[in-house]
Structure 1
Amino acid sequence: MNTYSDLRLNLFCQSLLQSVGMNKENSLVVADSLIKANLEGVDSHGISRLPIYAKRFGDNRINIKPNIQMTKKSSSVLMVDGDNGLGHVVSYQAILNGIEMAKQNGVTAIAVKNSNHFGTASYFCQLACEQNLACIVLTNSPPGIAPWGGKDAFFGTNPIAFGFPTGNDQPVIIDLSTSVVARGKIILAAKQGNHIPDGWALDRDGHPTNDAEEALKGSLLPLGGAKGSALALAVEILTGLLTGAAFGPNVKNIYDNEESGKANVGHFFILMDIEKFMNLNTFFESIINLLNEMKEVPKIPGIDEIRYPGERRKRDKERRLQEGIQLPPSVEEELIKLAGQYNVEFPIPIPPLKANSIVSN
């Protein structure tokens, strides 16, 4: 696999998005989200998503220039109509407004409708943590999980994420789907022609499968069995019903060429200003003590370290900032083709001998 500088991939994303018709400000947000996902080891939500976004902009299934409407229903409730914009853009604007409201009122709930896929939920957790806010981030998605005991996909993978600042550059970020695995990992496996592990998915007939293509036609297994299915339902109620967005099988899949109309994805954010609850430095001291005590718990055989959520992402980011980002041949080929389509220069790979010593440039 060829390796690329994160900065050059970021600039490529910006140029490509602007060539498609996105304004510069929004292209910066989307590129930042995508490349940060790659840096943090979440390649399923990184630059590999760019071709489908460009395709859906081109056939007008996603609005590249949305007129996002923000309506304050009260001092602590914000309703957002994303006008069918890309989820990264819609959610970024929603979070910026919500942060200001939370700083004034302590807690703010943001309900978003008429949006699309927004990348990693952790990205928005990090934005909140940078402002010393704790947060909860929820989103629904196209059908991926069958209700417990069923075989047809009904719920989305419906991620749940939490973000807690720690007073340093390593917040606690908990980001998980209510399925055993994120659907994006199966999409990436299908794109690369790879098999998936046991226990990830069922085919359309309800049988376990290791075939990524068959898994995408069937359903993903919920996290923790019936418990994961129940969590998916809760997320669906908050993000689909309470926001006024689509829910269950009514959420459109941008990867389905036979689908028509808006995806109408819903998001739900809860932002909490820690200083309205307690002294900020006291909170930082307490959470660091909590994490340190957790890490000191005696370890089972074969485990060298207990990590808290967010540590792996930070370490992956530090390593990839130095070594670069590897792109699978299938993803690289797709991006080069996309670059040619829009007459945008694709970056040159980092020479193999320098890949281990590269500094982002």
Structure 2
Amino acid sequence: MPIYRAEDLQMFAQEVFISIGVSEPYAKIAADALVRANLEGVDSHGISRICIYAKRMMETKTINATPNVKVEKKGTSVLLVDGDNGLGQITSFIAIQEGIKLAKETGVAAVGVRNSNHFGAASYYCQLACTEQVASMVFTNSPPGIPPWGGIKPFFGTNPIAFGFPASNEKPIIIDMSTSVVARGKIILAAKQGDSIPKGWAIDEQGFDTEDPCKALQGAVLPMGGAKGFALALAVEIFAGVISGAVYGPHVRSIYEEIEEKANVGHFFVLFDIEKFMPINHFQQIMTAFLEEMKNVPKQPNVTDILFPGERRYSEWQKRTKEGIFLSKAVDNELQSLAERVGVAFPQALAADSSKFKTINLNMSIKKAACEKPFEEV
């Protein structure tokens, strides 16, 4: 697997966006969000996404490369953002920045976003808030993947929920999870690699549990925790799809569908200025003591350290910042083809041992399977 410096991939992504017509400031934002996901080991939401974004902006015109994002204040602590069908990373960056400003004034800010697109990793926006000592809750809806509890047809998206809390060191607490038992991207990856999936991840079209990723992609991913995960997915849909004024459930369009409709994805951000609740230094002291006490809980056999959410991401970020980002051969080929198409130079790969790199979200058994048709991640 080829390995690249993060800064080289980020500059490449930025130049690709600019070549398509995205303004330089917006191109920097989108490139940063994508490469940050790669640095944290969440490659499914990283630079590989730029290929479908480019197709949507250049060919189908179903993502607006030059959006006029509008922010409207609807109340003392309420903002409503219309993304004008722009990249989700751009719309969400503007939304989170404006929300942080408002939270600094009022203590709490709620920001609804409509007319947006896939915004990448929800953790990115929590991290932006943490740098300003602001706690956050982030929701987004997505194309159908989860059935309502008891159903067999996808209705809700995998609808991520994320929380961010600044801590006294460089490592914020970042909780970022889908409401499905597993990210659909893992099942897609299993299908591409010819692997099986564990029982309990998904059902086929008839509603039966399946270990075949191809049948799972034709069926539905199951919600985490059974009915509880279904309830969380529903709640996210109401925040991001209904309250924001976007679309909901099966009406959210996938960027991978061969259609000429816009996705109209919705997001919802809630931001809390910690300083309005207590002095930030006092908060950090409490958080340090809290985390130390948690980590000192007696450990299970073979457990060397108790990690808080976001700690593993931070460690992977440190490692990949120093050693580079690996890309699968398929993604590498796709990016090089895109580079040729838009006339942007592709960076030179590093000479390194890629065997020491592992994505942090892959845990599958080996059992060959083959899909009749390819599936793309949503």
Q: TM-score range by the shorter chain?
A: over 0.9
Identity %: 55
Q: 1:348 to 1:195 in 2, by over 3 A?
A: farther
- Aligned twin of 2:349: 349
Inter-partner Cα distance in structure 2 for 1:37 and 1:354:
18
Matched residue SS, 1:208: coil
Asked if the contact 1:192/1:330 (under 8 Å) is kept, the reply is no
Asked whether the 8 Å contact 2:14–2:31 carries over to 1, the reply is yes
| Matched residue, 2:80 | 79
Deviations 1:43-94 (A, max 9, x none): 1100111111111111111111111111101120000111111110000001
TM-score normalized by the length of structure 1: 0.95
1:359 aligns with none
Structure 2 CA distance, aligned partners of 1:215 and 1:61? 28
Partner deviation per Cα, 1:231-250 (whole Å, 9 max, x = no partner): 00011111111011000000
Q: Which residue of 2 aligns with 1:122?
A: 123
Name the CA distance, whole Å, in 2 between partners of 1:331 and 1:167. 37
Q: Distance in 2 between matches of 1:100 and 1:25?
A: 19
Q: Distance in 2 between matches of 1:268 and 1:71?
A: 14
1:347 to partner: Cα distance: 1.1
Is 1:44–1:188's contact at 8 Å kept on the other side of the alignment?
Answer: no
Letter in 1 for 2:74: K
Closer, same or farther: CA 194–349 of 1 in aligned 2, 3 Å:
farther
Q: Indicate the larger mover: 16-25 or 177-186.
A: 177-186
- 1:242-281 correspondence to structure 2 within 5 Å: 242-257=243-258, 259-281=259-281
Offset at residue 205 of structure 1 (A):
2.5
Match of 2:310? 310
Give the CA deviation at 1:187: 3.7
Q: State the alpha-carbon separation in 2 of the partners of residues 353 and 286 from structure 1.
A: 41
Work out the CA distance in 2 between the residues paired with 1:246 and 1:265: 7
Show CA shifts across 1:270-301 (max 9, x none): 00000101111111011111111111100111
Q: Distance in 1 between matches of 2:137 and 2:300?
A: 31
Q: Secondary structure at the match of 2:238?
A: helix
In the superposition, relative to structure 1, how do residues 353 and 71 fare at CA in structure 2: closer, same or farther (>3 Å)? closer
Letter paired with 1:328: S
Q: What is the correspondence of 1:157-306 to structure 2 with a 5 Å cutoff? A: 157-257=158-258, 259-306=259-306
* Partner residue, 1:30: 30
Question: Measured at CA, do residues 310 and 354 of structure 1 come closer, stay the same or move farther in structure 2, by a change above 3 Å?
Answer: closer
Distance 2:18 2:54 in 1: 10
Distance 2:324 2:28 in 1: 20
What RMSD in Å do the two structures reach over aligned CA positions? 1.6
> How many corresponding residue pairs?
355
Task: Give the SS at the match of 2:79.
Answer: strand
1:96-119 CA deviation, whole Å, 9 max, x = no partner? 111111000000000001101000
CA contact (8 A) 2:326 2:354 kept: no
TM-score by length of 2: 0.91
Letter in 1 for 2:216: A
Offset from partner CA, 1:146-166 (integer Å, 9 cap, x none): 011111000010100000001
Distance 2:329 2:8 in 1: 18
Deviations 1:222-261 (A, max 9, x none): 011110000000111111110110000000011112x331
Check conservation: 1:161, 1:174, Cα contact below 8 A.
yes
Conserved 8 A contact 2:2-2:354: no
Q: 1:144 to 1:60 in 2, by over 3 A?
A: same
Q: Any gaps of 5 or more consecutive residues in structure 1?
A: 357-361
**Cα distance in 2, alignment partners of residues 206 and 260 from structure 1:** 31
Per-residue deviation, 1:196:
3.4
**Can you list the C-alpha shifts for 1:174-193, whole angstroms capped at 9, x where unaligned?**
00000012223334444555
Letter in 1 for 2:112: A
1:193–1:33 Cα change, 3 Å: farther
Name the residue aligned to 2:374.
Answer: none
Return the alpha-carbon distance in structure 2 between the equivalents of residues 8 and 261 of structure 1: 33
SS in 2 for 1:271: strand
Of stretches 128-137 and 344-353 in structure 1, the one that deviates more from structure 2 is 344-353
Inter-CA distance 88–191: structure 2 relative to 1 (3 Å threshold) = farther
SS in 1 for 2:343: coil
- Match for residue 48 of structure 2? 48
Q: Structure 1 CA distance, aligned partners of 2:189 and 2:88? A: 20
The alpha-carbon distance between structure 1 residues 327 and 198, as it changes in their structure 2 partners (threshold 3 A), is: farther
**Structure 2 stretches lacking a partner, 5+ long:** 357-378
